[in-house]
Amino acid sequence: MEHIRAHVLVCAGTGCVSAGSKKIEAALRDQIAKHGLDKEIKIVETGCHGLCEMGPLVIVYPEGVFYVRVQESDIVDIVEQHLYKGRVVERLLYTEHDTLEGIPSYKEIAFYKKQMRMVLANCGQIDPEQIDEYISVGGYEALGKALTTMKPEEVVDEVKKSGLRGRGGGGFPTGMKWGFARNAPGEKKYVVCNADEGDPGAFMDRSVLESDPHRVIEGMAVCGYAIGADEGYVYVRAEYPLAIKRLKNAIEQAEAIGLLGENIFGSGFNFRLKIKEGAGAFVCGEETALLASIEGKRGMPRPRPPFPAISGLWGKPTNINNVETFANIPQIITKGADWFASIGTERSKGTKVFALTGRINHTGLAEVPMGITMREIIYDIGGGIPDGKKFKAAQIGGPSGGCLPEQLLDLSVDYDSLIKVGAMMGSGGLVVMDETTCMVDLAKFFLSFTQEESCGKCTPCREGTKRMLEILTRITEGQGKEGDIELLETMARDIKTTALCGLGQTAPNPVLSTLQYFRDEYEAHIKEKRCPAGSCAGLLEYTITEECKGCGLCKKACPVEAISGEKKGLHEIDQDKCVKCAACFAKCPFKAIKKQ
C-alpha cells in the first residue's frame, strides 16, 4: 500500500483560480515528480478557504502550514525546502497586520480564530469533485439517518426545533416552511434550491457550491423526504460556471452510487435533481419570480398568497430554500436540533456566513456564530481597514440592506437586531467603507442597481425607484434642492409599503438608512455643494499647489486643455474649462494637485 506522508492542498476556488492557482498546481506536480516524491505526497485541489485576499493559497498537511500569495516561481522552494528538507518557507507565510510576524499554522491566524466554520467546515478541506472525500468526513450520514430511522414528520419537527431560519435574506423559520409544504395537499411536490445569488458583494453560496456541492444535494434530498417530493431543481446563476460544473459532477456521482435516484438506502424514497441555469435577472432571486423562470417564462414575481408551499412550480406545492439553508440541514440531522439551537442567540440560531469585502484587510468568507458583534467581524476577523484609514460605515444585506455607522459597531449581529436598526441580514454581504466613500453616492449606487433590475411589473418599483434615482443623481452632481431629502423620505416609505415583491419593498432601504445615519452628508451636498468624502466628481475642485515643479505632465494629460503654465513654472487650472476627469491628478509625480 502507498504511504502518503503529506498532503498539499491547492485552493481552486474562483478567487484563487483567478489569481493563478491552476498554474501553481501544474508546477507543483512537475516539481514533485522531478524529486521523485509523487508516491508519498498527494496534491489535492480544494474549494475555497475563504481568505480570498491572500490567494492563491497552498496548505501543507499534516503540519497545516499556510502559504499565501504563492507564485509559480515559489514552488521550487516549497518543494525543495519544505517537502524535501522539512523546512518551512518563512517568506511565504501569512503575516498579521499588526505584528508582521509570520504565522505558520492555519488555525492560529486571526481570520480563522474567531470563526465557527460549520457550513464551511469542508470548504478547502476536501476535493469537491470526489464524492468519496465528502463521505469520508461523514457525508450522506444525515440522509441515511433520516431515511432509515426517522419518519418524514420527525425530520420536519427536528428542523423546526433547531430554530434554523432562511439564510437567503428573509429569515423565515425553515421548519415551518417545510411543514407547510408537507401538509399541502397533492401527490407531486418539488424542492427548489435558490442559488441565484444576485446581491452584489455576496459570494458565499457560490463558494459552498464550488467547494462542497454534496452538502447542498444532501440537504435537498433530506428536504424531499420530509415534505414528500421526489424531484428537485437547483436554480444557479449562469455567471457561476465553476459552481455549475461541480454541481453537475456531484449529481452524477451521487446518482452513480445510488444516493440520488430510485429507492435510496432501500427506503423506497426516490429523489432526482436537475440544474436550471439562470439567464441574468436579479429579480429571479425572489421565489415566485424564480419559479416563473424555471417554467421558462419572464421571471416576474406574482402576488402571494398562494405561497409556493401551496401552489409553486407548475402549480404544485414547492419548498424553496437558499443554498446556505440547505447546507445547514445535514448537521442538524446528524448532531441534533438541540446542539444546533445551543449556538447563536435567543431567536437566531446557528451560524451565518458573511462575505467581507470593500475597504477591509481580509476580504473573504467568514462564518460566525449569530450574535457576534460587527466590531469582532470587522476588526478581529476582517483585520480592520487598510492604509490607516478610518472606518465609516458597514453596508450589510446588499441592495435590500442598510448602512450602519461607527456607533453601531457593537451591535449584535442577528436577524432581529439588524432589522431594528434599519438594515437586514440579507444574504450576508458585508461591505466595509472608509472615510473616502461618499454615502450619498453609495445610496445612488444601490438604487441604480435595483432600478436597473426592477422587472417593471408594479408601478411603485418601476417608476418610484427611477424618480428617487433622479433626485440622488441631482444631489451628487451639485444640483440638489431644498426639500429633496424630505421628498426622498416620503417616496421611500410609499415604495416600501406598496411594492409587489421583496425587491421593491426593500429597494429604498439603502437610502433610508444613509439618511438616518449620515444625513449631514446629504445636507452638505445640497446646501454647501460639497462632498465631505471627496468622491463626487461634480462637486470637486482641482487646484495646483506650490509643490508644482512645472514638468508639464498634467498639461499633456488634460483632455480639454484647461491647464496652462510655462516649463519649470507654476501651472494653473482654468476652473471653467475643467471637466473634473482627474487625469492630471493621476499623472502628477509631485502630488501637487489637490482635490477638494
Partner 1 sequence: MNSNQSQCCCDGSVNQFDKLDEVLKKYQGVKGALIPVLQEAQHAYGYLSKEVLQNISKKMDIPISQIYGVVTFYSQFHLTPRGKSIIRVCQGTACHVRGAKTILNEIENQLNIKSGATTPDLKFTLETVACIGACGLAPVMMIDDDTHGRLTPEIIPKILAK
3-class DSSP state of 576: coil
| Distance separating alpha carbons of residues 82 and 105, to the nearest angstrom | 14
Measured from the CB atom, the residue of 344 and 429 that comes closer to partner 1 is 429
Per DSSP bridges, beta strands 231-236 and 269-277 are parallel
Measured from the CB atom, the residue of 139 and 402 that comes closer to partner 1 is 402
| Distance separating alpha carbons of residues 400 and 6, to the nearest angstrom | 46
Q: Rounded to the nearest 5°, which phi and psi values hold at 38?
A: -65, -15
Axis-axis angle for helices 439-453, 509-517 (nearest 10): 170
> Smallest distance from the beta carbon of 504 to partner 1, in angstroms?
17
Q: Rounded to the nearest 5°, which phi and psi values hold at 494?
A: -65, -45
Measured from the CB atom, the residue of 125 and 437 that comes closer to partner 1 is 437
Measured from the CB atom, the residue of 328 and 427 that comes closer to partner 1 is 427
Are 400 and 374 within 8 A, CB to CB?
no
Are 79 and 35 within 8 A, CB to CB?
yes
Residues lying near partner 1 in the complex (CB under 8 A): 14-15, 17-19, 52-53, 55, 197-203, 206, 238-241, 276-282, 293-300, 314, 355, 357-359, 363-364, 395, 398, 429, 431, 433, 437, 445-446, 449, 453, 455, 586
Measured from the CB atom, the residue of 206 and 352 that comes closer to partner 1 is 206
Per DSSP bridges, beta strands 351-358 and 429-434 are parallel
> Smallest distance from the beta carbon of 241 to partner 1, in angstroms?
6
Measuring CA to CA, how many Å separate 78 from each of 84, 126, 471? Answer: 9, 21, 56
Measured from the CB atom, the residue of 276 and 571 that comes closer to partner 1 is 276
| Distance separating alpha carbons of residues 107 and 397, to the nearest angstrom | 28
Buried b (16+ CB within 10 A) or exposed e, 315-351: ebbbbbbbbbbbbbbbbbbeeebeebeebbbeebbbb
Measured from the CB atom, the residue of 200 and 228 that comes closer to partner 1 is 200
Measured from the CB atom, the residue of 150 and 377 that comes closer to partner 1 is 377
> Smallest distance from the beta carbon of 48 to partner 1, in angstroms?
9
> Smallest distance from the beta carbon of 453 to partner 1, in angstroms?
7
Handedness of CA 457, 463, 469, 470 (dihedral sign): positive
Handedness of CA 477, 481, 482, 485 (dihedral sign): negative
| Distance separating alpha carbons of residues 202 and 199, to the nearest angstrom | 6
3-class DSSP state of 173: strand
> Smallest distance from the beta carbon of 52 to partner 1, in angstroms?
3
> Smallest distance from the beta carbon of 447 to partner 1, in angstroms?
12
Measured from the CB atom, the residue of 131 and 202 that comes closer to partner 1 is 202
Measured from the CB atom, the residue of 75 and 438 that comes closer to partner 1 is 438
Are 377 and 413 within 8 A, CB to CB?
yes
> Smallest distance from the beta carbon of 431 to partner 1, in angstroms?
5
> Smallest distance from the beta carbon of 448 to partner 1, in angstroms?
9
> Smallest distance from the beta carbon of 65 to partner 1, in angstroms?
21
Per DSSP bridges, beta strands 65-67 and 41-46 are unpaired
Which helix (DSSP H) or strand (DSSP E) does residue 483 occupy? none
> Smallest distance from the beta carbon of 295 to partner 1, in angstroms?
4
